[in-house]
Each structure stands twice: as C-alpha cells, then as structure tokens.
Amino acid sequence: MSEATLNTATEAKNPVSGLRRIIMMIGLMRESPAGMVGAFLVSFWVLVAIFAPLISPFEPNATLVPFMKPGAVNPDGGTFWLGTDHIGRDILSRIIWGSRTVLFYAPLATFCAYVLGIVMGLVAGYYRGWIDDVLSRIGDMILSFPVLVLYIIIISTVGASGLNIVIAIVFASGPGIMRIVRGLVLDLRNRDYVAAAQTRGESAWRIMLVEILPNARGPLIVDACLRMGYVIINIGVLGFLGLGLPPPDPDWGGMINETRQMALIFPHMTVIPCIAISTLILGFNLLADGMRDISLRD
C-alpha cells in the first residue's frame, strides 16, 4: 500500500509528463539547428515506415519491368519514380518498405543491447567486487574483437536471419553499453539519495532501477542515438556483404549488394539505397549532437 501512495505522490509532484515533456523537448531542440535537421530526417523515415502500405506505389517484391530509368512509365499504369532494379522491382517501393525493415531491426537490437548493457552495468557498478571484475573482463574480451569480425563470425556460423542479426548486435554492443553504465553508476552510487534509500531499507534492485538509473539517463539517451546510427550502419554492412536478411524482402544493404555489379551502367539502383541509409544515419547522428548540445546547456 505504501508503494502505491508513493507512486501517486511522485506523479502528483511531477505533472510535466508525457506529451508536455515531448513538447518541451521540441522547444529545446529549436535552439540547435543541427538537432532540428536530425529530428526532421528521423521523423521523415519513421513516417515513411509507418505509412508504407499507403504511399508505396507498387508491391515491393513484384517483378514488373527490369532496368527502367528513374521516371520511366510503366506500360500497365503508374510511374517508376526511381526506376526499377535488375529483376524489375520498383525501387521507390522497395526503399519505402525497406525503411520498415531497418526501423524495425535497428531499434529492436539497440533496445535489447541496452537492456543487457544496463543490467550488466548496474550490477557491476553497484556491487563492485568480484562480479564487477568478471563482467568487465568478459566485456573487455568481446570488445577486443573488431566489430565486423565478430558479426561475420557469428552470422556465418549460426546463419543469416533477422533474429540472428539482432542477437549478434546485442552480443557485440552490450559490453560497450555496460562500460558506460558502469562508469555512471560508480559516480552516482555515492550520492546522498542512494545512501538515503539504503537507510530506508530499499532493495538493491529498486535502488539501481529507481534511484540510480533515471539519474544516468542523459548520457545514455545521447549514446543510444549514436549507437542507433552504428547499428543501422552494421545492418547495412551485413546486407552489403551478403550476410544480411534473406531475400526477397527489401533491405537497403541487400539492395546495394544485389545491384553493385551494375552500378556503372545503372547507377540509380545502387545510389538510391545508399542515399536512403546515409540520410537515416545522418538523422540519428545530428539528433545525438543536438541533444548533447542541449544537455550541456543546463
């Protein structure tokens, strides 16, 4: 019962939540032009992904007329605004549907990596001692692999599928996140409010999750944005190397790989997915930069 009253008390004390908070964030973002551009790019692709069935002119996997230049007219009606690829699939539709693929797997993988990294970092930083040593050593070991080498070995051993890519990314980025969280926890665990919670007799997990974690959120949000960019790059790279999601569903990296041999004759097939993925990554990087600016200000 006491916990319920505590929750309502904190909510009443803090009416600036949900929508108001997001509006405040946008207001702050206005002060950083780079952050605004980033927010615009990211929300553009998110909207494209959400409304993919409505805005995509053709079926992404339908084979229509091959080797069409951008702007060519389909004899059966409609226009290939960005042309078609070597087996006649409309590139615009594949780009639109491909945004769903990348914006599903990248946030999912980043989120799972964060859950793992945060739990490991909290435990290592809060308990210290042997558990910290063990976790840190394991982390060091995983981080001593060049990232892509680790991905290639994992994916080529367990096979390429969406789930395996997520697992590989979680495995490879978890330790990096752990390091950051651990560093933050080492600083925060000596604060007075943590001592107060310990005196109140709160459980270790409650202290870690309710007292420490929310106070570490600033740097973590910025890092998550940057990391999202890297994860998108890595999903793209895996697709590009032929280790990505299995065809035929559209995946930007895979689209580049399939058509790169023809890039000199039909540059649009390769260049367009490259632009798509670069703008999305740029969006996340600018967003991270803007948020860092804002967080440094106050």
Partner 1 sequence: MAILITKRLLMMLLTMFAVSLILFLLLEIDVDTIAIKVLGQFSTEEQRYLWLERNGYYEPVYKRYIIWLGNFITGDFGTSTIYKIPVAEVLWPRLWNTTILAFWVFVFLVPVSLVLGILSGMREGSKLDRTISVVSILTTSVPEFASTVFFSGLFVFSLQWLPGTSSMFEGFDWKQLVLPVLVLLVYDFGYVTRMTRASMAEVMTTHYVRTAVLKGLPYKRVILKHALRNALIAPFTVLMLQINWLLSGVIVVEFFYAYKGFGALLLEAALRQDIYMIEACTMVAVFVVVMTQVFSDIAYTLLNPRIRFS
Burial 30-43 (b: 16+ CB within 10 A, else e): eebebbbbbbebbe
- Compute the distance between CA of residue 292 and CA of residue 283 in angstroms, rounded to an integer: 14
Helix (H) / strand (E) containing 72 = strand 72-73
Instruction: Rank residues 160 and 197 by Cβ distance to partner 1 and give the closer one.
Output: 160
Least distance between partner 1 and beta carbon 146 (Å): 4
**Could you say which DSSP state residue 107 is in?**
H
Residues 233, 45: Cα–Cα separation, whole Å: 15
Whole-number minimum distance, CB 232 to partner 1, in Å?
8
Nearest distance in Å: CB 288, partner 1 = 9
Task: Tell me whether residue 49 or residue 282 sits nearer to partner 1 (CB atom).
Answer: 282
Query: In this complex, which beta carbon is closest to partner 1, that of residue 125 or of residue 236?
Result: 236
CB of 104 to partner 1, least distance (A): 19
Binding site for partner 1 (CB under 8 A): 34, 140-141, 144-149, 152-153, 156-157, 229, 233, 236-237, 240-243, 253, 256, 260, 263-264, 267, 270-271, 274-275, 277-278, 281-282, 285-286, 289
CA distances from 200 to 78, 257, 275 (A): 68, 58, 55
**Least distance in angstroms from the C-beta of 253 to partner 1:** 7
The amino acid present at 28, given as its one-letter code, is L
Give the nearer residue to partner 1 in terms of CB position, either 6 or 275.
Answer: 275
Cα–Cα distance, 240 to 59 (Å, whole number): 23
For residue 213, give the nearest of 126, 95, 109, 85 by alpha carbon: 126
Residue 126 or 266 with smaller CB distance to partner 1: 266
Tally of CB atoms within 10 A around 277:
26
3-state DSSP call for residue 298? coil
How wide is the angle at C-alpha 92 spanned by C-alphas 151 and 229, nearest 5°?
35
Q: How far is the CB of 182 from partner 1 (least distance, A)?
A: 18
CB of 14 to partner 1, least distance (A): 33
Instruction: Output 55 or 141, the one with its CB closest to partner 1.
Output: 141
Contacts of 281 (CB under 8 A, 6+ apart): 229, 232, 233
Determine contact, residues 178/117, Cβ cutoff 8 Å.
yes
Nearer to partner 1 by Cβ, of 147 and 222: the residue is: 147
Nearest-approach distance from CB 193 to partner 1, in angstroms: 29
Nearer to partner 1, 122 or 239 (CB): 239
